[in-house]
Structure 1
Amino acid sequence: MQPFEPVYNKNSRILILGSLPSVKSRENGFYYGHPQNRFWRMLAGVYEAEIPQTVSQKKEFLYQCNIALWDVIESCEIKGSSDSSIREVVVADIHAVLGQAPIERIFANGKTAQRLYNKYAKEKTGREIIELPSTSPANAAYSLEKLIQKWAIIRG
C-alpha cells in the first residue's frame, strides 16, 4: 500500500515520519501532495527557502536540508485518508534508513505518526521520536506561522 520509497541520502541527519500518504498524495505521486497540506510551505518557512513545486525539487530540497522522509506504515487497511480508521498495520522497515544514513533525530508529523511509531517501531529501532504538530489541513488549530515556529526545532 505504501506507494513511495523513503527519501534519504548518506547526509540525512533528520528523519521525518508521517503515518501513511493520503489519497491525494498517492494521486499526486509524492509525500504531502494534498494542495492544502502545509508540509512543503512549513519546511520552506523553517529553512527560509522557496517552496519546492515538483517532485525533483522536493527531493533536492530534502537532500539540501539533510532530511530523510518516510512513513511509519508500510501497509494497512484504511478508509480514504482517515488516520482514525487505520487497521491491520504492517510497519515500514525504518531500519533500512537508520542503517544507511547517519540519522541523529526522528520527528513525527503529528500525533498519529508518533503513536504508530511508538506502538510498532520504537522497540525495533530503540530510538525516541519527537512529535511535532501535524501539517495536515485537518489540524486547524495551527496556523502556518505557528507550524513554522514549532517545526523550527528540526534545524537543531
Structure 2
Amino acid sequence: MIGEGARVLVLGSMPGAKSLQEQRYYANERNYLWRLLYGLRGLEPDEAYGDRLAYAAGQGIGLWDMIDHCHREGSLDMNIRNAVPNDLPGLAASYPSLQALAFNGSKSYEIYRKHFAGHPGLAHLDLLRLPSSSPIPTPAMRTLEDRLEKWRMLLPYLKE
C-alpha cells in the first residue's frame, strides 16, 4: 500500500497468517503497527481498515513487505525460509517522493542488506531501523511506549 506523495515506506518482512487470510496489512489487533502510526500524532487508531489506510497515506506513509514469497510455518519471522524479495528498487523508482525506508523489525532489514545494500537505485533514501511492531517483548522493547519512542524517528518524514 503506497500512494502518490509517499515520503516514507514502512517495510515489514512478510504478512502474518491473519493478515494473509484477511488480505489486510497488520490485521492482528495485538500488533502495535496502527497504534504506533497514530501514536506519532497522539491519536487513537480508527476502527475501519479503510480509514487506517487513508490516515497512513495522508501522513505520507506507505506500507509494503520486503518478501514477495517464502515458506513459513505460522507468523514468526524466525520461521521464514527461502525468502524471495520484492522489487524494492523498482518500487522506489516509481515513487520519486520517497525519502526514507523504515524497516519494521530486524528481519526486514536483514532482507534489505542481503539483497539490496548498495543498490544505486536506493542510495538516495535514508534507512531507518525500527523495533518490530510485534507485541512480543524483548529486553529493550517491553511496551508500546518503548517502541513509540523509537518510531518517532519517522516524524521528520511525515506530512504536516
Q: Identify whether the pair has TM-score above 0.5, normalized to the shorter chain.
A: yes
Partner of 1:43: 37
Aligned residues: 150
Structure 2 residue corresponding to 1:73, chosen from 67, 76, 88: 67
Tell me the secondary structure at the aligned position of residue 94 of structure 2.
Answer: coil
CA distance in 2, matches of 1:61, 1:109: 18
Tell me the secondary structure at the aligned position of residue 95 of structure 1.
Answer: helix
Query: Could you tell me which amino acid in structure 2 is paired with residue 10 of structure 1?
Result: E
Partner of 1:133: 131
Structure 1 residue corresponding to 2:16, chosen from 13, 22, 30: 22
CA offset at residue 35 of structure 1?
1.4
CA contact (8 A) 2:92 2:122 kept: no
Partner of 2:101: 106
Structure 2, unmatched stretches of 5+, are: none
Range moving further from structure 2, 62-71 or 94-103: 94-103
Deviations 1:64-98 (A, max 9, x none): 10011100000011111121121111110123431
CA contact (8 A) 1:72 1:91 kept: yes
CA offset at residue 49 of structure 1?
2.6
Percentage identity across aligned positions? Answer: 28
CA distance in 2, matches of 1:126, 1:109: 18
Query: Could you tell me which amino acid in structure 2 is paired with residue 155 of structure 1?
Result: L
Query: Could you tell me which amino acid in structure 2 is paired with residue 129 of structure 1?
Result: L
CA contact (8 A) 1:10 1:100 kept: no
